[in-house]
Amino acid sequence: MDITSMAPDEIASRIGDRPYRGKQVFAWLHKRQVTSFDLMTDLPKQLREKLSKSYTIGTDIYTLRSVQSADLTTKYLFRLENNTIIESVYMCYRFGGSVCASTQAGCRMGCIFCASGKNGFERNLTPSEICGQVYAIQRGKPRVGHVVLMGCGEPLDNYDNVVKFIRLISDENGQQLSRRAITVSTCGLTPKIIKLADEMLPVTLAVSLHAPNDDVRGCLVPAARAFPMPELLRACSYYTDKTGRQVTFEYVMIRGVNDSLSQAGELAGRLKGTLSHVNLIRLNTQEASGLYASSDDTIRRFADYLCGRGIKATVRRALGSDINAACGQLRVLNKRT
Ligand code: SAH
């Protein structure tokens, strides 16, 4: 059993020891990231032996390959247990390093413009495997200040493990990453957004909206058909009320599909009065998808139109597209790759 997926109190109660022991072991795992119980030098030898008989540390996360793009974005190919292969990305911003982590190997959501589900769904990642991506990338680099769950997978489709990951990586005995510096991006699983709001973890919520109405949205994000926009937007307001955090709406700009000014007007009408921010993303084209990116001019005009209607809108800088590390380009790889 992988002890790196456990919170300090869980470790303490499993080993039947006092709470501080749990914190001590947790710190070795999440702060110093040791790979063997033998290195936990302030634990009694007996306890170290007991731990090594019953638990494993982290999953065997192995870097198969890393490639750096011209803008210093680095894409990692990791091999996890059972030969599951996933991708994660390190991005360098002025304010520090950011990791884009995967939450599932593959994806079930079926968004027509995204590569993540093209090879199907393999499995959910464990909390330890999500932490492991951050720790492996961080090795030898300045401390990672932000984590965005925008890699492969739908975070809220792996709800329990993702919430646990947030608790582990922000724990005061470990990395202490600020919860505000963690972004959960979802294609809009409404009931899970409400559940997340009730956890009172003030993480940043990003919702992949991509359309001003359910007709267009249903074509782009098939999973969204079960969650109509009025309820989705109500859940987002609930999230804001509960956490005090503004919601980001992601909107991939696809030529002739969702990028007209009348659609910008419809979107502005829907979002009026919500504490939110629209992040426009230029489509990263997938081979043979028949979908094309909107021009930079169209994107700028769409953003200006929203701003003119009182909706905050920005255009996301595309990093790493030359190494297939940009939004929607991460995949679960075939085991033979
Ligand atoms: N499943 C989550 C997180 C995945 S991806 C979600 O849907 O939000 C993170 C963002 O990249 C999402 O907004 C997603 O819609 C977007 N994206 C996916 N494919 C893309 C592509 N080809 N070009 C640009 N953005 C894309």
Residues 10-20: tens digit of each pLDDT:
999 999 888 89
Is 327 one of the annotated active-site residues of the chain? Answer: yes
Mean pLDDT of the residues in the chain: 92
The fraction of the chain above a pLDDT of 70, given in percent, is 98
Dihedral angle sign, alpha carbons of residues 164, 167, 170, 173 = negative
Residue 64: predicted pLDDT: 80
Backbone angles phi, psi at 101, to 5 degrees: -105, 150
Q: Which atom belonging to ligand 1 lies closest to the Cα atom of 109? A: 1
Ligand 1 pocket, 131 CB below 6 A?
no
- Report which residue type is found at 295: S
- Of 60, 46, 57, 58, which is closest to residue 15 (Cα–Cα)? 46
Q: Which atom belonging to ligand 1 lies closest to the Cα atom of 154? A: 1
Residue 259 has pLDDT above 50, yes or no: yes
Residue 69: predicted pLDDT: 80
Q: Of 33-37, 163-167, 285-289, which gets the smallest average pLDDT?
A: 285-289
Residue 337: predicted pLDDT: 43
Instruction: Encode pLDDT of 177-232 as tens digits.
Output: 999 999 999 999 999 999 999 998 999 999 999 999 999 999 999 999 999 999 99
Residue 62: predicted pLDDT: 81
Ligand 1 pocket, 209 CB below 6 A?
no
CB atoms within 10 A of CB 37: 21
Region 28-35 average pLDDT: 95
Please tell me which residue in 87, 129, 154, 250 is annotated as part of the active site. Answer: 87
Give the C-alpha separation, 328 to 306, whole Å: 24
Distance 88 CA to ligand 1 centre (A): 14
Give Cα separations from 201 to 31, 43, 79, 235 (angstroms).
21, 32, 30, 15
pLDDT band at 330 (very low <50, low <70, confident <90, very high): confident
pLDDT band at 333 (very low <50, low <70, confident <90, very high): low
Distance 258 CA to ligand 1 centre (A): 15
Region 11-38 average pLDDT: 94
Is 81 one of the annotated active-site residues of the chain? Answer: no
Give the C-alpha separation, 220 to 234, whole Å: 21
User: Strand pairing partners for 106?
Assistant: 121
- Please give the model's pTM, rounded to 2 decimal places: 0.94
pLDDT band at 117 (very low <50, low <70, confident <90, very high): confident
Structure tokens, 257: 């599909």
Distance 172 CA to ligand 1 centre (A): 31
Residue 32 has pLDDT above 90, yes or no: yes
Report helix, strand and coil shares of the chain as percent, to nearest 5. 40, 20, 40
Residue 255 has pLDDT above 50, yes or no: yes
Geometric angle at alpha carbon 256, from 252 and 261, rounded to 5° = 80
- Report which residue type is found at 327: C
Residue 282 has pLDDT above 50, yes or no: yes
Is 171 in contact with 149 (CB distance < 8 Å)? Answer: no
Residue 168: which residues within 8 A CB-CB, separation 6 or more?
5, 7, 30, 127, 131, 174
Residue 164 has pLDDT above 80, yes or no: yes
Give the C-alpha separation, 307 to 24, whole Å: 50
Region 261-270 average pLDDT: 98
Ligand 1 pocket, 85 CB below 6 A?
no
Ligand 1 pocket, 328 CB below 6 A?
yes
Structure tokens, 186: 């979802």
Q: Of 6-15, 50-59, 127-136, 327-336, which gets the smallest average pLDDT?
A: 327-336
Distance 337 CA to ligand 1 centre (A): 23
CB atoms within 10 A of CB 65: 12
